[in-house]
Amino acid sequence: MTDDSDDETWPLEQMVTDAPLFEGKLTRRYGEPSMKVFTTGQVAKICKVAPRTVSKWFDSGRLKGYRIPGSQDRRIPREYLIKFLKEHGMPLGDLEDEAMAKCLIVAQDQVLIENLKRELPPEKAFKVAVAASGFEAGIQAESFNPDCIIVDFSIGKIEAVQICQNLRKNVDFTDIVLIALLPDDGQPMSFDRSSINETFKKPFDAHLLAERLRTLVGSKKELV
């Protein structure tokens, strides 16, 4: 069950740490498969058809997209292209990785990690990476390009909060779904939760977390 209680905020400025956690210098690296919008010519190459065929798909409404204002140029957003390919049983090719929901787990508890991996399997369109610290999380966030980051506060409250805060400072990660796992150790857990989408207090149902994750990221990845 999520924990939505209001707590007194703990400003990040009051925290001190030597770990270089998300300094705001990271930039996400997008190759061609990670393009957000495609032309009809690019879609034609992916589908191995003539551009005229793609234009017909577009004009008939089967392939969703939009026209650039002031011109007849068509543009197809990545998520609509992936949905179209799936619906018609066409191979995703280089887009296959993009069709999966990428989840980065920042934790050191191996039991927790294995439980989450079991609930987020590849056959359900999830791809999981793991980081044991804020430093590792920074490297993984840049190379893995996750859609969701799950931060286990058991790694240390100061480090966990700084990861969350500094993630939101980076424009490349502002849309990432951020989930905090809070320990149930009887100690007060007061911090600024404005950067976090969801909080789960241990012990929690890993299946419930996975379903919530599907809801949060599924709309753009066409998982739901």
| CA pair distance 31, 29, nearest whole angstrom | 7
The predicted pLDDT at position 189 comes to 66
The predicted pLDDT at position 222 comes to 53
Q: How many CA atoms lie within 13 A of 67 on its CB side?
A: 9
Number of separate domains in the chain: 2
* Mean per-residue pLDDT, 5-27: 39
* Mean per-residue pLDDT, 92-116: 85
pLDDT in tens, 161-211: 888 888 888 887 878 899 999 987 666 667 777 788 889 988 888 888 888
Residue 5 within any structural domain of the chain = no
Average pLDDT, the chain: 78
The enclosing domain of 184 has a CATH number of: 3.40.50.2300
> Could you tell me the pTM of the whole model?
0.62
The predicted pLDDT at position 6 comes to 39
Domain finish residue from 41, 67, 95: 95
Beta carbons of 127 and 147 less than 8 angstroms apart? no
| CA pair distance 213, 211, nearest whole angstrom | 5
Domain finish residue from 46, 64, 95: 95
Domain finish residue from 95, 114, 144: 95
Residue 4 within any structural domain of the chain = no
Within this chain, do residues 81 and 177 fall inside the same structural domain, yes or no? no
* Parent domain of 53: 32-95
Within this chain, do residues 53 and 121 fall inside the same structural domain, yes or no? no
Within this chain, do residues 128 and 86 fall inside the same structural domain, yes or no? no
Beta carbons of 131 and 140 less than 8 angstroms apart? yes
Within this chain, do residues 132 and 200 fall inside the same structural domain, yes or no? yes
